[in-house]
Amino acid sequence: MPRNENAAPLALAETLREGVSGAPASGRALFLCARAEMLETLPDAHDWQCVQNLKPLARELEQQGHAVSSDIETLDGERFALTVLLPPRQRDEARAWLARAVQCTHPDGVVVAAMPNTGGARSGERDLQQLTGTVHHVSRRKCRVFWSDLTQAHIDPERLSEWCALDALRPILDGRFLSRPGLFAWDRIDAASALLAAHLPASIHGRVADLGAGYGFLSVMLLERAKEIEALDLYEADARALEPARRNIERAVRDSAHAAQVDVHWRDVTQGLPAEYDFIVSNPPFHQGRADRPELGQAFIRTAASALRPRGALWLVANRHLPYEATLAHEFETVRTHAEQGGFKVIEAVRGRRGARG
């Protein structure tokens, strides 16, 4: 993980170690958008309840022995004396997390957040002040750590309720799909997925997987085009995408009277898949934060090769500059580029009869 991706968690940890006025030194505490690298530097004074919707990060927390939920709704209304948060960059999603942090905190508790200076820190601090009427901050590691002591707060209940709903599911693209702020290309069809969808053959059949499915656009396009799909599994690492993907794909099955069995899975596909497939499609992630991470796409390719049946095919779209060819050549018997447009490439890779190289 690039060093700057660790900056906000470490700045938050350093601030908590120094002590935040009004924050309890021990007891139950809530960590929203939790990150293992923060907790591993803190003493074991708090009993942390973590919420993390990204599967790889949730797995790291579980490996440390922390209680982890993918969804704040599972906390059953519990309120905490200390709530800490690493808000995401997308503004509506960040405001929703800040509002939930305030909502989950005792009236005499403290809410602490940290954001990179280049990732919306000033806006995040202003937003917390709008919610609570009071905020303090320190700057470190090119980040801003800011907090509100709710004993001094004047919470705006109308704004609190409005912001809690900012990342709720909403219709996009003239109501054709449901999505929510913060997902990849959440309110549009990204150019890479559109290019791949335009080149997917109607001959795709049997058991099929969509790796990194997002809100389900590619899977819906598959069902509309390929009528001989028997089963379609959508894999997505972001738990916030599961409900819109499930509803979008179920509506596509219903509207088209398609016979395919569909399932949506919260999974980090770089850890492998639990089933074998005839075809796999993917627009894999290639960045984390603002840094290119070609190894993510390379891991998707290796996972697809391992999960495909002999003569099974991967249909992949990628940024043209990304170094995937060596991985594809190593894992597959034949590799063919079907299209290059707008900086993207559509690739078909076919597994050998007995493995990668036949």
| 120's tokens | 């919306």
| pLDDT, tens digit (0-9, with 9 covering 90-100), for 96-123 | 999 999 999 999 999 999 999 999 999 9
Phi, psi (degrees; rounded to nearest 5) at 216: 105, 15
Average model confidence (pLDDT) across the chain = 93
Question: In the predicted model, what is the mean pLDDT of residues 125-136?
Answer: 96
Residues 6+ apart with CB under 8 A from 92: 166, 167, 181, 182
In this predicted structure, the answer to whether residue 10 has a pLDDT above a threshold of 80 is yes
Contacts of 132 (CB under 8 A, 6+ apart): 102, 111, 148, 150, 153, 154, 155
- Give the pLDDT score at 44: 86
% of the chain beyond a pLDDT of 70:
96
Q: Is the pTM of this model over 0.85?
A: yes
CATH code at 170-350: 3.40.50.150
Choices 3.40.50.1460, 3.40.920.10, 3.40.50.150, 3.40.50.1970: CATH for 3-164: 3.40.50.150
> How do the domains of the chain map onto residue ranges?
3-164, 170-350
Distance, in Å, from the CA atom of 176 to the CA atom of 173, rounded to the nearest integer, reads 6
Check if 3-164 and 170-350 are the same fold.
yes
Split at pLDDT 50, 70, 90, the class of 292 is low
